[in-house]
Structure 1
Amino acid sequence: MVRTLALPALLLVVGTVPGHAIDVQKSIDIAAAPAKVWQTIGDFCGIGDWHPAVETCAPSEKDGMKVRTLSLKGGGTLVEEQVSRDDKVMRYTYTILQGPLPVADYKSTISVAPEGSGSKVSWTGSFSAKGAPDTVAQDAISGIYESGLKAIADKAK
Protein backbone atom coordinates (compact mmCIF):
# COMPACT_ATOMS: atom_id res chain seq x y z
CA MET A 1 0.00 0.00 0.00
CA VAL A 2 2.78 2.44 0.84
CA ARG A 3 4.52 1.78 -2.50
CA THR A 4 1.29 2.37 -4.41
CA LEU A 5 0.86 5.83 -2.86
CA ALA A 6 4.54 6.81 -2.95
CA LEU A 7 4.86 7.04 -6.75
CA PRO A 8 1.80 9.26 -7.34
CA ALA A 9 2.83 11.48 -4.40
CA LEU A 10 6.35 11.81 -5.81
CA LEU A 11 4.97 12.69 -9.25
CA LEU A 12 2.73 15.34 -7.69
CA VAL A 13 5.67 16.95 -5.89
CA VAL A 14 7.90 16.87 -9.00
CA GLY A 15 5.10 18.36 -11.10
CA THR A 16 4.82 21.37 -8.78
CA VAL A 17 8.54 22.24 -8.64
CA PRO A 18 9.15 25.61 -10.34
CA GLY A 19 10.87 25.56 -13.73
CA HIS A 20 14.61 25.71 -13.95
CA ALA A 21 16.46 28.93 -14.53
CA ILE A 22 17.24 29.86 -18.10
CA ASP A 23 20.64 31.44 -18.67
CA VAL A 24 21.54 33.65 -21.63
CA GLN A 25 25.10 34.84 -22.22
CA LYS A 26 26.09 37.09 -25.10
CA SER A 27 29.25 39.09 -25.73
CA ILE A 28 30.92 41.19 -28.40
CA ASP A 29 34.48 42.37 -28.98
CA ILE A 30 34.82 46.08 -29.65
CA ALA A 31 37.86 47.89 -31.04
CA ALA A 32 37.73 50.63 -28.40
CA ALA A 33 39.31 51.10 -24.98
CA PRO A 34 37.29 49.69 -22.04
CA ALA A 35 36.99 53.15 -20.45
CA LYS A 36 35.45 54.54 -23.65
CA VAL A 37 32.98 51.66 -23.89
CA TRP A 38 32.05 52.02 -20.20
CA GLN A 39 31.49 55.73 -20.79
CA THR A 40 29.01 54.73 -23.50
CA ILE A 41 27.05 52.16 -21.43
CA GLY A 42 27.94 52.68 -17.76
CA ASP A 43 25.18 55.16 -16.92
CA PHE A 44 22.26 53.00 -15.76
CA CYS A 45 19.74 55.12 -17.65
CA GLY A 46 22.11 55.60 -20.58
CA ILE A 47 20.51 52.56 -22.21
CA GLY A 48 18.07 55.02 -23.76
CA ASP A 49 20.99 56.45 -25.77
CA TRP A 50 22.29 53.18 -27.19
CA HIS A 51 19.71 50.37 -27.21
CA PRO A 52 17.63 50.39 -30.40
CA ALA A 53 14.48 49.08 -28.66
CA VAL A 54 14.41 51.89 -26.07
CA GLU A 55 12.63 55.13 -26.90
CA THR A 56 13.35 56.87 -23.58
CA CYS A 57 14.72 56.12 -20.12
CA ALA A 58 13.41 57.92 -17.04
CA PRO A 59 15.58 57.57 -13.92
CA SER A 60 14.16 57.45 -10.39
CA GLU A 61 14.88 55.91 -6.99
CA LYS A 62 13.10 53.35 -4.86
CA ASP A 63 14.27 52.65 -1.32
CA GLY A 64 17.66 54.18 -2.15
CA MET A 65 18.13 52.03 -5.26
CA LYS A 66 18.40 53.37 -8.82
CA VAL A 67 15.37 52.55 -10.96
CA ARG A 68 14.88 53.13 -14.67
CA THR A 69 11.60 53.19 -16.55
CA LEU A 70 12.12 52.29 -20.18
CA SER A 71 9.56 53.32 -22.77
CA LEU A 72 9.98 50.89 -25.62
CA LYS A 73 9.72 51.74 -29.30
CA GLY A 74 6.46 50.31 -30.57
CA GLY A 75 4.88 50.49 -27.10
CA GLY A 76 5.38 48.90 -23.71
CA THR A 77 7.21 49.88 -20.56
CA LEU A 78 9.88 48.10 -18.54
CA VAL A 79 10.79 49.05 -14.98
CA GLU A 80 14.23 47.87 -13.87
CA GLU A 81 16.20 48.27 -10.64
CA GLN A 82 19.97 48.39 -10.36
CA VAL A 83 20.93 45.99 -7.56
CA SER A 84 24.72 46.32 -7.70
CA ARG A 85 27.34 48.41 -9.43
CA ASP A 86 31.13 48.46 -9.58
CA ASP A 87 32.58 51.25 -11.71
CA LYS A 88 36.13 50.03 -11.05
CA VAL A 89 35.49 46.70 -12.78
CA MET A 90 32.91 48.31 -15.13
CA ARG A 91 29.88 46.18 -14.29
CA TYR A 92 26.32 46.60 -13.04
CA THR A 93 23.54 44.15 -12.26
CA TYR A 94 19.83 44.82 -12.46
CA THR A 95 16.45 43.11 -12.14
CA ILE A 96 13.15 43.63 -13.92
CA LEU A 97 10.44 44.87 -11.56
CA GLN A 98 7.68 44.91 -14.18
CA GLY A 99 7.23 44.76 -17.90
CA PRO A 100 5.82 42.93 -20.91
CA LEU A 101 8.63 40.38 -21.37
CA PRO A 102 7.76 36.69 -20.87
CA VAL A 103 10.18 36.33 -17.94
CA ALA A 104 10.11 36.15 -14.14
CA ASP A 105 12.89 36.30 -11.55
CA TYR A 106 15.07 38.10 -14.10
CA LYS A 107 18.56 39.18 -13.04
CA SER A 108 21.12 40.48 -15.52
CA THR A 109 24.66 41.83 -15.57
CA ILE A 110 26.36 43.92 -18.23
CA SER A 111 30.11 44.42 -18.06
CA VAL A 112 33.13 45.69 -19.96
CA ALA A 113 36.58 44.08 -19.79
CA PRO A 114 39.87 44.52 -21.64
CA GLU A 115 40.21 42.18 -24.63
CA GLY A 116 43.40 42.39 -26.65
CA SER A 117 43.80 46.01 -27.74
CA GLY A 118 40.07 46.66 -27.29
CA SER A 119 37.18 45.56 -25.12
CA LYS A 120 34.76 42.74 -24.57
CA VAL A 121 31.21 43.60 -23.51
CA SER A 122 29.34 40.75 -21.85
CA TRP A 123 25.63 40.68 -21.09
CA THR A 124 24.33 37.76 -19.07
CA GLY A 125 20.93 37.01 -17.63
CA SER A 126 19.16 34.38 -15.59
CA PHE A 127 15.37 34.06 -15.45
CA SER A 128 12.44 31.70 -15.77
CA ALA A 129 9.80 31.78 -18.46
CA LYS A 130 6.47 33.41 -17.59
CA GLY A 131 3.37 32.75 -19.67
CA ALA A 132 5.38 31.39 -22.59
CA PRO A 133 7.56 28.38 -23.41
CA ASP A 134 11.21 28.51 -22.31
CA THR A 135 12.36 28.90 -25.91
CA VAL A 136 10.19 31.99 -26.44
CA ALA A 137 11.56 33.64 -23.27
CA GLN A 138 15.12 32.69 -24.18
CA ASP A 139 14.74 34.01 -27.74
CA ALA A 140 13.26 37.30 -26.48
CA ILE A 141 16.18 37.97 -24.12
CA SER A 142 18.77 36.78 -26.67
CA GLY A 143 17.34 39.22 -29.21
CA ILE A 144 17.48 42.10 -26.73
CA TYR A 145 21.11 41.33 -25.86
CA GLU A 146 22.23 40.84 -29.47
CA SER A 147 20.66 44.05 -30.77
CA GLY A 148 21.99 45.97 -27.78
CA LEU A 149 25.53 44.65 -28.14
CA LYS A 150 25.58 45.47 -31.85
CA ALA A 151 24.42 49.01 -31.05
CA ILE A 152 27.11 49.38 -28.37
CA ALA A 153 29.77 48.31 -30.86
CA ASP A 154 28.47 50.83 -33.41
CA LYS A 155 28.30 53.67 -30.88
CA ALA A 156 31.59 53.06 -29.06
CA LYS A 157 33.81 53.06 -32.17
Structure 2
Amino acid sequence: MLKQLFSAAALVALAGSPALAAEVTEATPVNAAPEKVWATIGGFCGIGTWHPAVEACALSTQGGKNIRTLSLKGGGTIVEEEVGRDDARMAYSYRILESPLPVANYVSTIQVEPSGSAGSKVTWTGSFEPKGASEAEAKAVIDGIYVKGLAAIVDKST
Protein backbone atom coordinates (compact mmCIF):
# COMPACT_ATOMS: atom_id res chain seq x y z
CA MET A 1 0.00 0.00 0.00
CA LEU A 2 2.74 2.45 0.95
CA LYS A 3 4.67 1.50 -2.19
CA GLN A 4 1.59 2.20 -4.37
CA LEU A 5 1.03 5.55 -2.67
CA PHE A 6 4.67 6.48 -3.24
CA SER A 7 4.43 5.48 -6.92
CA ALA A 8 1.22 7.46 -7.42
CA ALA A 9 2.76 10.53 -5.77
CA ALA A 10 5.83 10.27 -7.99
CA LEU A 11 3.68 10.07 -11.13
CA VAL A 12 1.65 13.11 -10.08
CA ALA A 13 4.85 15.06 -9.40
CA LEU A 14 6.29 14.12 -12.80
CA ALA A 15 3.08 14.94 -14.65
CA GLY A 16 2.97 18.39 -13.06
CA SER A 17 6.60 19.26 -13.77
CA PRO A 18 7.82 20.88 -16.99
CA ALA A 19 9.65 18.86 -19.61
CA LEU A 20 13.32 18.36 -18.96
CA ALA A 21 15.40 20.99 -20.63
CA ALA A 22 18.13 20.38 -23.16
CA GLU A 23 21.55 21.77 -22.30
CA VAL A 24 24.55 22.93 -24.30
CA THR A 25 27.93 23.85 -22.83
CA GLU A 26 31.01 25.02 -24.69
CA ALA A 27 34.29 26.24 -23.20
CA THR A 28 37.54 27.54 -24.61
CA PRO A 29 40.93 28.52 -23.26
CA VAL A 30 42.02 32.10 -23.86
CA ASN A 31 45.64 33.20 -23.70
CA ALA A 32 44.84 36.37 -21.76
CA ALA A 33 44.24 37.34 -18.15
CA PRO A 34 40.67 36.84 -16.92
CA GLU A 35 40.28 40.57 -16.25
CA LYS A 36 41.19 41.37 -19.86
CA VAL A 37 38.72 38.81 -21.21
CA TRP A 38 35.99 40.07 -18.86
CA ALA A 39 36.66 43.62 -20.06
CA THR A 40 35.92 42.36 -23.59
CA ILE A 41 32.78 40.35 -22.86
CA GLY A 42 31.47 41.44 -19.44
CA GLY A 43 29.24 44.29 -20.52
CA PHE A 44 25.74 42.99 -21.21
CA CYS A 45 25.68 44.70 -24.60
CA GLY A 46 29.35 43.92 -25.24
CA ILE A 47 28.26 40.97 -27.37
CA GLY A 48 27.68 43.48 -30.17
CA THR A 49 31.44 44.03 -30.37
CA TRP A 50 32.63 40.43 -30.31
CA HIS A 51 30.01 37.98 -31.64
CA PRO A 52 30.27 37.61 -35.42
CA ALA A 53 26.52 37.04 -35.87
CA VAL A 54 25.56 40.29 -34.10
CA GLU A 55 25.34 43.46 -36.19
CA ALA A 56 24.43 45.72 -33.25
CA CYS A 57 23.25 45.65 -29.66
CA ALA A 58 20.86 48.21 -28.14
CA LEU A 59 20.66 48.33 -24.34
CA SER A 60 17.53 49.42 -22.47
CA THR A 61 15.91 48.79 -19.11
CA GLN A 62 12.50 47.44 -18.25
CA GLY A 63 11.28 47.00 -14.70
CA GLY A 64 14.79 47.69 -13.41
CA LYS A 65 16.32 44.88 -15.54
CA ASN A 66 18.79 45.27 -18.39
CA ILE A 67 17.34 44.32 -21.78
CA ARG A 68 19.46 43.94 -24.90
CA THR A 69 18.09 43.87 -28.41
CA LEU A 70 20.46 42.12 -30.79
CA SER A 71 20.23 42.95 -34.48
CA LEU A 72 21.58 39.96 -36.37
CA LYS A 73 23.67 40.10 -39.52
CA GLY A 74 21.44 38.97 -42.37
CA GLY A 75 18.29 40.08 -40.51
CA GLY A 76 16.36 39.14 -37.42
CA THR A 77 16.45 40.26 -33.82
CA ILE A 78 16.80 38.62 -30.44
CA VAL A 79 15.63 40.31 -27.24
CA GLU A 80 17.27 39.14 -24.01
CA GLU A 81 16.95 40.04 -20.34
CA GLU A 82 19.85 39.96 -17.90
CA VAL A 83 18.72 37.83 -14.95
CA GLY A 84 21.92 37.65 -12.93
CA ARG A 85 25.34 39.28 -12.73
CA ASP A 86 28.38 38.68 -10.57
CA ASP A 87 31.28 40.87 -11.65
CA ALA A 88 33.52 39.41 -8.93
CA ARG A 89 32.98 35.92 -10.40
CA MET A 90 33.08 37.40 -13.93
CA ALA A 91 29.74 35.89 -14.93
CA TYR A 92 26.30 36.94 -16.06
CA SER A 93 23.11 35.09 -16.92
CA TYR A 94 20.32 36.02 -19.28
CA ARG A 95 17.13 34.68 -20.78
CA ILE A 96 15.64 35.08 -24.23
CA LEU A 97 12.40 37.03 -24.36
CA GLU A 98 11.91 37.05 -28.16
CA SER A 99 13.83 35.17 -30.82
CA PRO A 100 13.69 33.37 -34.17
CA LEU A 101 15.81 30.56 -32.65
CA PRO A 102 14.22 27.10 -32.26
CA VAL A 103 14.17 27.32 -28.45
CA ALA A 104 11.81 28.22 -25.63
CA ASN A 105 12.54 28.94 -21.96
CA TYR A 106 16.18 29.59 -22.84
CA VAL A 107 18.47 30.65 -19.97
CA SER A 108 22.22 31.00 -20.35
CA THR A 109 25.35 31.91 -18.40
CA ILE A 110 28.71 33.04 -19.70
CA GLN A 111 31.67 33.07 -17.30
CA VAL A 112 35.39 33.78 -17.34
CA GLU A 113 37.68 31.87 -14.96
CA PRO A 114 41.44 31.83 -14.40
CA SER A 115 43.21 28.95 -16.12
CA GLY A 116 46.92 28.19 -15.98
CA SER A 117 49.46 30.75 -14.89
CA ALA A 118 48.23 33.69 -16.99
CA GLY A 119 45.30 32.46 -19.03
CA SER A 120 41.55 32.14 -18.84
CA LYS A 121 38.75 29.78 -19.64
CA VAL A 122 35.42 31.05 -20.95
CA THR A 123 32.43 28.78 -20.43
CA TRP A 124 29.04 29.39 -22.07
CA THR A 125 26.14 27.21 -20.94
CA GLY A 126 22.48 27.30 -21.90
CA SER A 127 19.39 25.30 -21.12
CA PHE A 128 16.17 25.39 -23.12
CA GLU A 129 13.29 23.44 -24.55
CA PRO A 130 13.33 22.80 -28.31
CA LYS A 131 10.64 24.74 -30.19
CA GLY A 132 9.66 23.81 -33.74
CA ALA A 133 12.73 21.58 -34.13
CA SER A 134 14.08 18.36 -32.73
CA GLU A 135 16.28 18.49 -29.64
CA ALA A 136 19.32 17.59 -31.77
CA GLU A 137 18.57 20.41 -34.24
CA ALA A 138 18.01 22.98 -31.48
CA LYS A 139 21.22 21.90 -29.73
CA ALA A 140 23.15 22.21 -33.01
CA VAL A 141 21.92 25.80 -33.51
CA ILE A 142 22.85 26.88 -29.98
CA ASP A 143 26.18 25.03 -30.11
CA GLY A 144 27.04 26.82 -33.36
CA ILE A 145 26.31 30.19 -31.75
CA TYR A 146 28.54 29.35 -28.80
CA VAL A 147 31.44 27.95 -30.87
CA LYS A 148 31.54 31.00 -33.19
CA GLY A 149 31.22 33.38 -30.26
CA LEU A 150 33.97 31.74 -28.24
CA ALA A 151 36.32 31.74 -31.25
CA ALA A 152 35.67 35.47 -31.62
CA ILE A 153 36.39 36.03 -27.91
CA VAL A 154 39.77 34.33 -28.34
CA ASP A 155 40.54 36.59 -31.33
CA LYS A 156 39.43 39.79 -29.54
CA SER A 157 41.19 39.02 -26.25
CA THR A 158 44.63 38.00 -27.50
TM-superposed deviation, 1:19: 3.7
SS of the residue corresponding to residue 147 of structure 2 reads helix
Match of 1:123 in 2: 124
Tell me, in whole angstroms, the C-alpha distance in 2 between the residues paired with 1:144 and 1:135: 14
1:17: Cα distance to partner?
7.4
Per the normalisation by structure 2, the TM-score is: 0.88
SS for the counterpart of 1:45 is coil
In structure 2, the partner of 1:134 is: 135
How much does 1:29 deviate? 0.2
Q: What number of residue pairs does the alignment pair up?
A: 145
Structure 2 partner of 1:88: 88
Please give the alpha-carbon distance, in whole angstroms, between the structure 2 residues aligned to 1:52 and 1:105: 24
Provide the C-alpha distance between the structure 1 equivalents of 2:68 and 2:60, rounded to a whole number of angstroms. 6
One-letter code aligned to 1:125: G
Inter-partner Cα distance in structure 1 for 2:107 and 2:97: 10
Q: What corresponds to 1:34 in structure 2?
A: 34
Judge which range, 27-36 or 17-26, deviates more.
17-26
**Unaligned segments of structure 1, at least 5 residues:** 1-9
Counterpart amino acid of 2:134? P
For residue 151 of structure 1, what is the aligned residue in structure 2? 152
List structure 1 runs of 4+ shifted beyond 4 angstroms: none
* Structure 1 position 18, deviation (Å): 5.1
Displacement after TM superposition at 1:153 (Å):
0.3
For residues 66 and 83 of structure 2, what CA distance do their matches in structure 1 show?
A: 8
Q: Which runs of 5+ in 2 are unaligned?
A: 1-10
Residue 73 of structure 1 corresponds to which residue in structure 2?
73
Question: Where does residue 59 of structure 2 map in the other structure?
Answer: 59
Identity rate, percent: 59
Matches within 5 A, 1:103-114: 103-114=103-114
